[in-house]
Amino acid sequence: MKKLVVLSLGVVFAMSQSNAQKIKGSETVLPITQKAAELYIKSNPKSNVSVTGGGSGVGIAALIGGSTDIAQASRKMKFDERQKIQQSGNTVKEVIIAYDALAVIINPDNKVTNLTREQVEGIFTGKIKNWKEVGGEDMKVVPYSRETSSGTYEFFKESVLKNKNPMAGIMSMPANGAIIQSVKQTKGAIAYVGLAYVNKDVKAVHISYDKGKTFVEPSVKNAVNKTYPIVRPLYFYYLKRHEAKVKAFVDYILSPAGQQIVGDVGYVTVK
């Protein structure tokens, strides 16, 4: 009994001493942080890390509101979000913890293997309607997009479409899995997903950002050596005055062990 009391007192003491930290935000980053938090707690039993999703926007809003210590985001902090933090007298720190490559995918029966950024833009904005315009068979192009609320959609729109809106009435699917399914069973389909989702049911096209001089295959290797162009960084944001509290975990993710996790869940490591 005495032992139990001492033990529980010890636990309470340890908890008040430890730096409980909350991480919130992007669903894309979630697999990395969840796994990392699990292993981090295992090797530092005194620490306490809780991870929740909700989307990049939600995470950053929580950081501004003070209900989270780290916001994880699959996009860069927007100007007005940064502004809100500065108004509250804080400065925000940004750390890139991993990269995610976006692959443009088509049906495996489609003969096309190479597309330039301009051609992909033409397809998604509705200017290119037939595969023969980009060197394929005489077949209608069926572009699939993600729902407008998705971070993947925002990055694709910014990087590939150069901030233009996709054509009115583009087909939009609620999840990456549904996109893969639709591309698999639709001959003229074209869509985009994170590299980690590409499988043998779909074909990832080689992309050129220099008007057709070099076409690069989407792969982790090409994303690491920076030859593949459609790569987005994944971020951690935290307030500078909380640096001491969150530093240990951020360092853990950037350490070789942490980056090993990044690679294991299908993303591209920072180093």
Partner 1 sequence: MFRKISNIIVKQLLTFSGAITGIAILFISIFLFKEGLGLFKSPAIEEGYALFVNSKNIVDNLTAKEIKEVFDSEITNWHDLGGEDIEIRIFRIDEIFQHYSDEELGEDYQFLPEKLAEVIREDESIVAFVPVEFAPAQHVGVKELMVDNITFSDYFAGKEWLPTATPAPLFGTLPMFLGTLLVSLVAILFALPLGLGVAIYLSELAQERIRKFLKPIIELLAGIPSVVYGFFGLVVLAPLVQKTFNLPVGETALTGSLILAIMALPTIISVAEDAMRNTPRAMREASLALGATHWQTIYKVVIPYAKSGISAAVVLGIGRAIGETMAVLMVTGNAALIPTSLFDPVRTIPATIAAELGEAPTGGAHYQALFLLGCVLFLITMVISITAEMISKKKNYKDM
Report whether 229 contacts 223 (CB < 8 A).
no
By DSSP bridging, strand 20-25 and strand 70-73 are parallel
Minimum separation from the CB atom of position 211 to partner 1 (A) = 18
Q: What is the DSSP letter of 216?
A: B
Give the long-range contacts of residues 44-47, CB within 8 A, separation 24 or more. Answer: 44/248, 46/14, 46/17, 46/18, 47/18, 47/19, 47/20, 47/21, 47/248, 47/249
147 or 243: CB nearest partner 1: 147
Question: Is 87 in a helix, a strand, or coil?
Answer: helix
Minimum separation from the CB atom of position 182 to partner 1 (A) = 7
178 or 196: CB nearest partner 1: 178
62 or 246: CB nearest partner 1: 62
Minimum separation from the CB atom of position 130 to partner 1 (A) = 11
150 or 269: CB nearest partner 1: 150
Q: What is the DSSP letter of 208?
A: E
Minimum separation from the CB atom of position 168 to partner 1 (A) = 5
Give the long-range contacts of residues 119-127, CB within 8 A, separation 24 or more. Answer: 120/160, 120/190, 120/207, 121/160, 121/161, 121/162, 121/164, 123/190, 124/160, 124/161, 124/166, 124/167, 124/170, 125/161, 125/164, 125/165, 125/166, 125/167, 126/166, 126/167, 126/168, 126/170
111 or 164: CB nearest partner 1: 164
60 or 262: CB nearest partner 1: 60
148 or 214: CB nearest partner 1: 148
Binding site for partner 1 (CB under 8 A): 55, 57, 79-80, 83, 86, 125, 139-140, 142, 147-150, 154, 163-165, 168-174, 178, 181-182, 185-189
When computed from its CA atoms, the radius of gyration of the chain, rounded to whole angstroms, is 22
